[in-house]
Amino acid sequence: MALHYVIVQQPANPAQLFLLYHGVNDNPNSMAQIGSWFAKAFPEAQVVAVGAPHAGSAPQGRQWFADIPAHDRSEQQGVNAVMPSFIESVHHWQQATGVRPEATALVGFSQGGMMVLEGVKAQPDLAGRAIVFSGRYATLPERATTRNTIHLIHGDYDEQVPLQHAQQAMQRLTALGGDVTLDIVDDLPHAIDDRSMQLALDHLRYTVPRRYFDEALSGAKPGDDDVIMMI
């Protein structure tokens, strides 16, 4: 499956990698606008918006899989079918930039957020950070890890992907021992606004991954290869 990429920022020697995944019937050009926030905040990062492989129902719209009602079994099947292409998009840019998974952040909105969640569920070592706007799992995870840190950002007026999905994901990941945060944005529908972006940037700047504490408690030296370099 051919994927289309929009490069937002391309430094000579990237220290971090941000990959952005759009929602259903959207395209990487619009997601690149979100990418500009990350590019400005992290000038040493490679920032790329990734276009889904399938045509959507809207003009110039793309999708990872056909839009399916929540809890329909075929939804997970649709995710699984396209997951190799999603994972390949991550590996492609990690190899092209030389940026390791620990310094990779996957950013997704709506269906793109589902792909990010399902991607790090399938391969926990895929990326160190996941920023998910208005997204949900196709199927809640049975296992969790602290090898990645997941930041859920969701509007309380979201009717397309109701807030309860993010709350359920938070509860499940926490119960399984995962590393997760949830921010609820007041009066926000199914969208990303300036408040959402500020929350995402603040987490990347200031939220210390739980794995650093785990490494310190075990006697190991915490790593310095996260999206945000520890000082």
Tell me the CA end-to-end span of the chain in Å, nearest whole number: 41
Distance CA 81, CA 75 (A): 10
**Type of residue at 158:** D
Choose the catalytic residue: 26, 89, 110, 196. 110
Any catalytic annotation for residue 187?
Answer: no
- Among residues 67, 85, 190, 225, which one is catalytic? 190
Nearest to 94 by CA among 148, 156, 46: 46
β-bridge mates for residue 148, sequence order: none
DSSP label of 210: H
Q: Which residues contact 44 (CB under 8 A, 6 or more apart)?
A: 11, 13, 14, 15, 16
CB 102 within 8 A of CB 15: no
Could you give the CA distance from residue 117 to residue 121 in angstroms, rounded to a whole number?
Answer: 6
Quote the CA–CA distance of 144 and 53 in Å, as a whole number. 28
> Is residue 110 annotated as part of the catalytic site, yes or no?
yes
Residue 134 among the catalytic residues: no
Cβ atoms of residues 29 and 49 within 8 Å = yes
Instruction: Please give the DSSP secondary-structure letter assigned to residue 192.
Output: -
Catalytic residue among 22, 89, 151, 158: 158
Cβ–Cβ contacts within 10 Å for residue 163, how many? 20
Q: Active-site residues: which are they?
A: 110, 158, 190
